[in-house]
Amino acid sequence: MIRSGHIDTFSRDSLPPENLWPILEDPDQRISYPDRLNAAVELLESSCKRLAESSSENKIALFGAEGSMSYKEFDRYVKQIANYFEDLGVKPGNRILLRGPNNISIVALWFAALRVGAVVVTTIHLQRASEIEKIVEIGKIQFAAVDHRYLDEWSAVAGFSGSLLVYGGDESFLNKVASFPGEHRPCDTAADDVALLAFTSGSTGQPKSTIHFHRDLLAIADTFGREIVQADESDIFSGTPPIAFTFGLGGLVIFPFRVGASTVLLEATPPAQLPDAIEKYQITALFTAPTAYRVILATLIKDNSLPKIKSLKKCISAGEHLPKSTWESFYEGTGIKLIDGIGATEMLHIFISASGDEIIPGMTGRAIKGYRAKVVDEDFNEVADGEIGRLAVYGITGCRYLNDERQKVYVENGWNLTGDLYIRHSNGYFQYQSRSDDMIISSGYNIAAPEVENAILTHPSVSEVAVVGQPDGDRGTIVASFIVLKEGLEGSDLLVKEIQDHVKKKISPYKYPRKVEFVPSLPKTTTGKLQRFRLKN
């Protein structure tokens, strides 16, 4: 291993044994990085230098709720925050948790943390205290930068003994950074120093922390960003996923900054309002889930407002399966070919996709350059084309869980097993079939069925519950719950709403069951094992 730039070695020490790592190499042998590398410098400072050389240093980097910032202004702002962090006592390798919606502040904090060599842990701002507590414990969080509007749940988090930094509002710590220098010497990190811990829900509801290096952040831009998105300086990026999702992090931060493009950050914009944002900012590249594209199309048809999206050139869909009907409807209505893709938090971003004339409706695509993929059976034998099996992939990025035994399950023979069932066709295209675990993917969100069940079971009226994903025309899949009430109680519409509201208070609101059905009993085997498959249709 190359000498680390980290003083705090917790993240490196928490990597799985190297014999359990996946293969981490570019099979196409196109991409390599120097031994010393700081991703914040490469993504921001290097872009600033290129723009300055072309007299474009005043180009807008970010549009957000706070206004806008040019690349030159944003670079200075990030360096001021970095100096503040170091003055506060942040050491290379310390973990900094970020909690807030997509805006200029959180992106600046993300860059500053990387610049000083800290490990970034970006969280979803809608997560509840019980969910945040697990992240704080697993990641051994030492600093937390929290948007002032999302302090309520944070105040209920137990086990955090680090430094809390509140931003936004009159008492924002960011108001202090203006007094710090606008120049900063970045941490001399190694390319394989840990840059971020990205959390993903396990099928049991116990989150897993995935570890990604500084070079990994550049790798996704130099593979999917370059080959499929084909981003360039003229693009204006936007989308709905929080940057806590690596799909959003890539599409809204890493890809645009890698090429000196602009990004429009939307704090809370419902899909139906996206056409207005597209028109206002002349957005060219949009990242969101299939659900949102269905809403966009319906809104455009309803309002007869197709010209609002005339600036759009690239629409990237991920987070859940893109139905063929959605692709065809959107293409017929707008003339835009949706770019489908499958990725994973464990892999950092998308590794199978297609763009332009290479797109085949109903197919995810082919393994992009920088990755290889195949379909295998339970014994890891590659199955014949046209047969269903487990998707296996390896490439320039891959799964490394932090202190988690599930590493042995996700990685086999050097390949990453994503938990998806696929068919590979003779033309090399991969076609999605289903998930192989109890994970529910609804509107782009990963939702663990057991976690929702645990929340429902805390309601005083509930005796038993089973949660599954069921097909839905709007959301792809919805969370459906089947509840056995305690003896003597009867179901009602009022009780349905009461249970749904109860779940929203216990866990992230997007995880609540949209379908609640009261049943006399749940299907089980003779040994008492729940048969969820009997509830899915």
CB-CB contact of 343 with 362 (8 Å): no
Q: Which two tokens stand for residue 471?
A: 């097909």
Q: Which two tokens stand for residue 271?
A: 């899909």
Instruction: Specify which residues 353 forms β-bridges with.
Output: 341, 366
Q: At what angle do helices 290-303 and 274-281 cross, to 10 degrees?
A: 80
pLDDT for 415 equals: 98
HSE at residue 401, side-chain half, CA atoms within 13 A, is 19
Q: What is the pLDDT along the chain (537 residues), one digit of tens a residue?
A: 689 999 999 999 999 999 999 999 999 989 999 999 999 999 999 999 999 998 887 999 999 999 999 999 999 999 999 999 999 999 999 999 999 999 999 999 999 999 999 999 999 998 999 999 999 999 999 999 999 999 999 999 999 999 999 999 999 999 999 999 999 999 999 999 999 999 987 555 688 999 999 999 999 999 999 999 999 999 999 999 999 999 999 999 999 999 999 999 999 888 899 999 999 999 999 999 888 898 999 999 999 999 999 999 999 999 878 888 889 999 999 999 999 999 999 999 999 999 999 999 999 999 999 999 999 999 999 999 999 899 999 999 999 999 999 999 999 999 999 999 899 999 999 998 877 776 788 888 878 787 898 899 999 999 889 999 998 887 888 999 999 999 999 999 999 999 999 999 999 999 999 999 999 999 976 556 677 778 876
Query: How far is Cα 504 from Cα 211, in angstroms, rounded to an integer?
Result: 29
User: pTM for the whole thing?
Assistant: 0.88
pLDDT for 325 equals: 84
pLDDT for 517 equals: 96
Strands (E), 132-273: 143-147, 163-167, 194-200, 208-213, 236-239, 262-264
DSSP three-state, residue 419 = strand
Q: Which two tokens stand for residue 120?
A: 């970034």
pLDDT for 268 equals: 82
Residues 57-78 as b/e (b if ≥16 CB within 10 A, e otherwise) read bebbbbbbeeebbbbbbbbbbb
Query: How far is Cα 227 from Cα 221, in angstroms, rounded to an integer?
Result: 9
Query: How far is Cα 153 from Cα 130, in angstroms, rounded to an integer?
Result: 9
pLDDT for 527 equals: 53
Instruction: Specify which residues 263 forms β-bridges with.
Output: 62, 237
Instruction: Specify which residues 190 forms β-bridges with.
Output: 36
CB-CB contact of 297 with 334 (8 Å): yes
- Among 453, 469, 463, smallest CA distance to 506 is for 453
Classify residue 172 as exposed, middle or buried by CB count within 10 Å of its CB (0-12, 13-18, 19+): middle
Q: At what angle do helices 449-457 and 493-506 cross, to 10 degrees?
A: 110
- Among 257, 74, 58, 59, smallest CA distance to 177 is for 74
CB-CB contact of 116 with 135 (8 Å): no
Q: Tokens 């690349």 identify what position?
A: 71
pLDDT for 533 equals: 74
Query: How far is Cα 237 from Cα 239, in angstroms, rounded to an integer?
Result: 7
pLDDT for 280 equals: 97
